[in-house]
Structure 1
């Protein structure tokens, strides 16, 4: 095929992806605002937010992983025109996600003692625990929101979740300002103020998204009656959701381990790690948007049974991802010395963060491509082998290298991040090989 056979899909890919990107980046901009506002209080407070989010991020990855199962199932059923099945997947998906939210909230409360065994500064732990308790409660409304979002994504209606997220996050930033610093008569809660802002925003997202979806004529029928519990659909959601949750757990826990290892190096290293991680997460969300696009469009073509068209569309998404990630890599490297100053005015923290951004620049391509390849495999409803790939890449390659270079050889934060780079690179390569294998198998079957 000619290059234009792929580039002509860029517009449609971005049309589906940009609301997802914007919604995810809006989430991160609130985390960015949290970090900037809390960073003004000092490096211990910034490190506390980082530590408090270690277990939160792990729980979040598990919950979101389960909800991701909704999207490919909805996309495939929608391509076949099976309204009743789409509705059943949606309603059962809300039930699964709500249960997950409650379980994750309880587990986070029970896991508080773990923070004392992570060899972190005592002052940071004292600040992190109340932050984590408040944000843990927000897991319940966030998981409910995720179920509605993934349903809408499966129908390629990605703009509504973006709108709800932006509205809620504006409220979050305002509350952060009022509660962190105690402005306009509000109590000065500092780190806890950031947590309360997050809680209120996540509660607000649910009714806002429900309203936006239910007022659309073509979507009203999905809200008219409540579907009965379906054992078959429930099993499908668990069979896709559990390994997807494992995939996200393996990746997020690697970055969580990087936070913990940085904390072992000291408060300033942990604060610098948080800065580099927050910046990297923003560009990663562009990859997440394209990953969901791959899941949706490949799921549609799977429902239609058109493997050649599936292959062409997938390649167009891969090419678009590569172009954007190369741009991000150049930006990270060119502005590595300027970006950390946005967060904090501590020269030592800024210098450490700048060294981490050099490595982050190199792993932009690997990070973006691996998540998009994973989205393509999810669209093909292939989840168990990718889970094994994630474990191998992140925990048999990435973490040992991070520990050895960062702690044993004393290369510090940069050594830890080189381990992240290697883990992401291995994951990207193996995910692509798995995708190519599945496409060859399906092409053989379609022509036999």
Structure 2
């Protein structure tokens, strides 16, 4: 019975987790949905255009999520200060975050405009797809500054437990992106707008990012809690926390990059096998990305909850939240696996009407089912570890799992053994399994070091 006692958690904490997670989840679905809309609209426009956009998205996603991971330090530090009741310190944290965002913007825009073609050629992507992918990335780069500043503000909202604002903004952004992409990709004759194809897809999404940023800034002056933070008062000089934020944020960003980039690298490896293979991989990856956002959202909520409790030194609650995350993610991943299995032939048809591509996508979705549970467990563990400000060791564990285990195996099975997409996905499954094992062991070790955990262990030894 003791094993069940360890996984009991309070109802109010469970409600808090759900109240934080659900807006974040809907937000993530809106954000991922923008990429899915880009792929779906271009898929019904032209198969080769869809494949080119898909390759462009594979380059863009790691850049975006790496930057988002670095800016998670804003959420972590905001959560700690908010948990201590020092609300005015949150603005100083955000101003530090803006400096970090500026550096990230420069790097991301440079890579998208000047190095993306070199990267695609280095991995021997089909030459016919490269020009379109580069054009998409250059068009999309107009929105890179907006989305990175947006993510810094979003991190503040997550840190002070106001994710609903982000949900509203991203919901509007999703609709705007769909309309702009459809019009700019296909053209709209009544208004005399010609078809811009691939470039139209990138420009449409880039413009959407600027609209989202302006809306979020507006909300900071309207929402009572955000307004009380006085985020836009006179800019503060960087303080001693900037260095600590970079120290925490860089490993967090590298961890996210290591995981997301391995999926992109897997897709780029497949770029040498032609349009249908690339399109089917991108479709199945886009679909599983929607389920991937469930544990990601759970992890973000766990980061905020853990950060608040660490800030007020409520270590008993930290342990409960950690165990609650394990129970919840197991249940969620079982459900998503069942849904993916049942809908594996139906959902790909929303992206493409080519029967061969749909069939190949359905086969790859079966492989994705096998990493649903380990993926959820490693992401949830990482969320709690971030709340504890432990990011360096998880980064090293993630890099080892994805790039020392998964990537070589993906290349060996996919290219050397000529298993193509199936071999690549088997390599991904193995890497994610190792990440789940490593990160949950790390979480167990740190949990035992908390003062309350030591007290419980001493009590159990004494037989109390």
Q: How far, CA to CA, are the matches of 1:116 and 1:431 in structure 2?
A: 34
Contact 1:80 1:303 in 2 (8 A): yes
Structure 1 position 47 matched with structure 2 position 55: no
1:209 correspondence with 2:241: no
Question: Structure 1's 224 and 268: CA in aligned 2 closer, same or farther, altered over 3 A?
Answer: closer
Pick from 206, 209, 223 the counterpart of residue 199 of structure 1.
206
CA contact (8 A) 1:214 1:223 kept: no
User: 137, 142, 147: which one pairs with 1:142?
Assistant: 147
Partner of 2:227: 220
Equivalent residue for 2:461? none
Give the match for residue 16 of structure 1.
Answer: 20
How far apart are the structure 2 equivalents of 1:118 and 1:46?
Answer: 19
Give runs of aligned pairs for residues 49-88 of structure 1, distance below 5 A: 49-88=53-92
Q: Deviations over 1:90-115 (max 9, x none)?
A: 22212321331133112321203312
> Of the candidates 404, 413, 419, which is equivalent to residue 411 of structure 1?
419
Q: CA deviation at 1:88?
A: 0.9
Which piece of structure 1 moves more, 337-346 or 112-121?
A: 112-121
CA distance in 1, matches of 2:53, 2:232: 42
- Kindly tell me the number of residue pairs found equivalent between the two proteins: 448
The TM-score, its normalising length taken from structure 2, stands at 0.93
Q: 2:29 matched to 1:25? A: yes
Per the TM alignment, residue 249 of structure 1 is displaced from its structure 2 partner at its CA by: 1.6
Deviates more, 1:86-95 or 1:190-199: 86-95
Q: Distance in 2 between matches of 1:137 and 1:250?
A: 25
Q: Which residue number corresponds to residue 194 of structure 2? A: 187
Secondary structure in structure 2 of the residue aligned to 1:353: helix
Instruction: Verify the 8 A CA contact 1:7 1:316 in the aligned structure 2.
Output: no
Segments of 5+ residues of structure 2 without an aligned counterpart are 459-464
Does 2:410 match 1:402?
A: yes
Which of 169, 178, 183 lines up with 1:178 in the alignment? 183
1:229 to 221, 231, 237: 237
For residues 182-225 of structure 1, the C-alpha deviation after alignment (integer angstroms, 9 at most, x for no partner) is: 01321201111111110110011111011112212332232352
Instruction: Please list the CA deviations of residues 71-93 of structure 1 after superposition, one character each: whole Å capped at 9, or x if unmatched.
Output: 11111111111223222112221
1:288 matched to 2:296? The reply is yes
Output the CA distance in 1 between the equivalents of 2:133 and 2:226.
Answer: 42
Match of 1:119 in 2: 124
CA distance in 1, matches of 2:183, 2:155: 32
Quick one: distance in 2 between partners of 1:293 and 1:104? 27
Supply the distance in 2 between the matched residues of 1:55 and 1:220 (Cα, whole angstroms).
36
- Structure 1 length-normalised TM: 0.96
CA contact (8 A) 1:56 1:136 kept: no
For structure 1, the residue ranges without an aligned partner over 5 or more in a row are none
Whether the aligned pair in 1 keeps the contact of 2:7 and 2:320 (CA below 8 Å) is no
Which residue of structure 1 lines up, in the alignment, with residue 391 of structure 2? 383
Per-residue Cα deviation, 1:293-326 (whole angstroms, up to 9, x for no partner): 1100001110111211111122112211111111
Mapped partners of 1:295, 1:107: distance in 2: 30
Q: What is the Cα deviation at residue 128 of structure 1?
A: 1.2
